[in-house]
């Protein structure tokens, strides 16, 4: 293990002519430890020295991995119950030094600092914490990460020389590239990782700002609504357009929460709009009910003793407009109802469940999308309604 006092001496340049960097030292400090042991083990197999902190270091040592405590690197112990452990010039110099700047590298050598080539950090679960009902302000504040975003931003700023990994979903791809490239990470990958990193810290700060703002003001001076991509859609409002569904970070439910696809192609922009409208109407109906929506407008809504009755009544409201629509039911679909549904062109059908006979009938049509909603009445009450207008938002 490198001596932190002399670590910077004689280190060969880590950046190749093609822009790839060699990863020789990694800093790992994560709140979400999903997959981190396997990631660290893969780095260790490649000869990468691992620097870590607190609970992450303990988890890695428990897996028989050799780890250098960040306190050994900085020369300073953790203080204030762990609130200050990575906020140190020696650590951030190792992250921010430009490897092609002779003065920077001379400074590192003079200070005995070895550069850090890869940073694996994720953040305290602030969004998950404040999403819980009745969370106290003290608990929320204790889940505001300070050192994590600082390390992430430093590494992302210096992505010409440092790879920054902030999502467990990226571990396998990064490790595969290192294994296939003799321990190197390409400039293209580092740029992509830096973008992920800045997006994460922006989202994190936005969630904090939104929570504080809406806690004390109905209409705060800045309206911040962080969203993350949930699903790529088959096309937009028109077939030549591309589209994706983004969901609000921290929301306890959304249009496709607890929904699984049983059959059919990917959803389109219009499908999701119509599904949202249908589920909002259905959410207010307790008896067996059916809602048919076309172009974001209900063209049939009915209740009945059973799902079959509700469907027949809803279809009778406007059979012409129902062609190619979205149908939402709050009761299971059996074989008999499936036979009736099979007689019409349906874009999307959503229901709590389908029996085997129903699936066999409905799957005969390739075009239909069959969705299963595992929980009905899934919408949380909206405290505020937001509508887009040109160049802005209306909030009520």
Reported residue count of the chain is: 396
> What stretch of H or E contains 388?
strand 386-389
- Edge-to-edge strands of the sheet including 49-52? 68-69, 49-52, 25-29, 118-121, 163-165
Chain-centroid distance of CA 245 in Å reads 12
Residues 6 or more apart whose Cβ sits within 8 Å of residue 69: 51, 52, 53, 57
Alpha-carbon span 185 to 196, nearest angstrom: 16
Token pair recorded at residue 144: 């505001």
Known catalytic residues are 157, 295
Alpha-carbon span 99 to 167, nearest angstrom: 26
- Give the up-direction half-sphere exposure of residue 235: CA atoms within 13 A in the CB hemisphere: 6
Dihedral Cα 366, 367, 372, 376, nearest 10 deg = -160
CB atoms within 10 A of CB 206: 17
What is the SS3 assignment for 82-140?
CCECCCCHHHHHHHHCCCCCHHHHHHHHHHCCCCCCEEEECCCCHHHHHHCCCCCHHHH
Q: How far is CA 39 from CA 33, 34, 96, in A?
A: 10, 10, 23
Q: How far is CA 371 from CA 106, 360, 380, in A?
A: 61, 15, 20
Alpha-carbon span 326 to 350, nearest angstrom: 8
Question: In this predicted structure, what is the pLDDT of residue 79?
Answer: 78
- Give the up-direction half-sphere exposure of residue 18: CA atoms within 13 A in the CB hemisphere: 8
Q: Reduced to 3 states, what is the DSSP secondary structure of residue 143?
A: coil
What is the chain's pLDDT, residue by residue, as a tens digit (396 residues)?
333 333 344 445 465 556 888 899 999 999 999 999 999 999 999 999 999 988 899 999 999 999 998 888 887 777 787 777 788 888 889 999 988 888 998 888 888 889 999 999 999 888 888 877 788 888 888 888 888 999 999 999 999 999 999 999 999 999 999 999 999 999 999 999 999 999 999 988 888 888 887 777 778 888 888 888 999 999 999 999 999 999 987 777 888 988 999 999 999 999 999 999 999 899 889 899 999 999 999 999 999 999 999 999 999 999 999 999 999 999 999 999 999 999 999 999 999 999 999 999 999 998 899 999 986 565 555 567 888 899 999 988
Give all domains of the chain, ordered by start, each with its CATH number: 21-216 (3.40.50.1380), 250-373 (3.40.140.20)
Angle at 36 between CA 32 and CA 40, to 5 degrees: 150
> What stretch of H or E contains 45?
helix 36-45
Q: Model-level pTM?
A: 0.73
CB of 353 closer than 8 Å to CB of 333: yes
């Amino acid at each position: 293990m490198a001596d932190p006092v002399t670590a910077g001496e004689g280190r060969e340049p880590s950046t190749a002519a093609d822009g790839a960097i060699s990863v020789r030292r990694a800093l790992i400090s994560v709140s979400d430890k999903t997959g981190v042991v396997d990631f660290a083990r893969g780095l260790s197999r490649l000869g990468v020295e691992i620097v870590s902190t607190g609970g992450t270091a303990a988890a890695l040592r428990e897996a028989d991995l050799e780890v250098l405590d960040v306190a050994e690197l900085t020369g300073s112990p953790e203080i204030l119950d762990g609130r200050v452990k990575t906020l140190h010039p020696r650590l951030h110099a190792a992250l921010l030094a430009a490897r092609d700047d002779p003065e920077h590298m001379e400074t590192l050598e003079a200070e005995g600092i070895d550069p850090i080539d890869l940073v694996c950090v994720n953040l305290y679960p602030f969004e998950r914490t404040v999403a819980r009902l009745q969370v106290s302000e003290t608990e929320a504040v204790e889940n505001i990460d300070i050192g994590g975003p600082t390390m992430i931003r430093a590494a992302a700023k210096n992505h010409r020389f440092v790879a920054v990994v902030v999502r467990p979903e990226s571990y396998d791809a990064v490790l595969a590239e290192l294994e296939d490239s003799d321990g190197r990470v390409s400039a293209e990958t580092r740029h992509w990782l830096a973008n992920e990193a800045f997006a994460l810290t922006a989202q994190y700060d936005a969630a904090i700002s939104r929570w504080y703002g809406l806690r004390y003001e109905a209409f705060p001076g800045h309206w911040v609504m962080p969203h993350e991509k949930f699903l790529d859609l088959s096309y937009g409002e028109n077939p030549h357009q591309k589209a994706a569904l983004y969901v609000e970070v921290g929301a306890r439910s959304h249009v496709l929460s607890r929904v699984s696809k049983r059959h059919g192609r990917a959803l389109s922009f219009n499908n999701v709009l119509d599904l949202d409208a249908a589920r909002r109407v259905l959410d207010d109906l307790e008896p067996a009910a059916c809602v048919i929506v076309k172009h974001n407008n209900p063209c049939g809504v009915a209740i009945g003793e059973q799902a079959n009755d509700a469907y027949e009544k809803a279809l009778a409201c406007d059979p012409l407009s129902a062609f190619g629509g979205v149908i939402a039911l709050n009761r299971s679909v059996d074989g008999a109802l499936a036979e009736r549904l099979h007689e019409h062109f349906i874009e999307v059908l959503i229901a709590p469940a389908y029996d085997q006979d129903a699936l066999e009938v409905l799957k005969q049509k390739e075009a239909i999308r069959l969705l299963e909603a595992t929980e009905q009445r899934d919408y949380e009450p909206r405290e505020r309604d937001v509508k887009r207008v040109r160049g802005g938002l209306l909030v009520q």
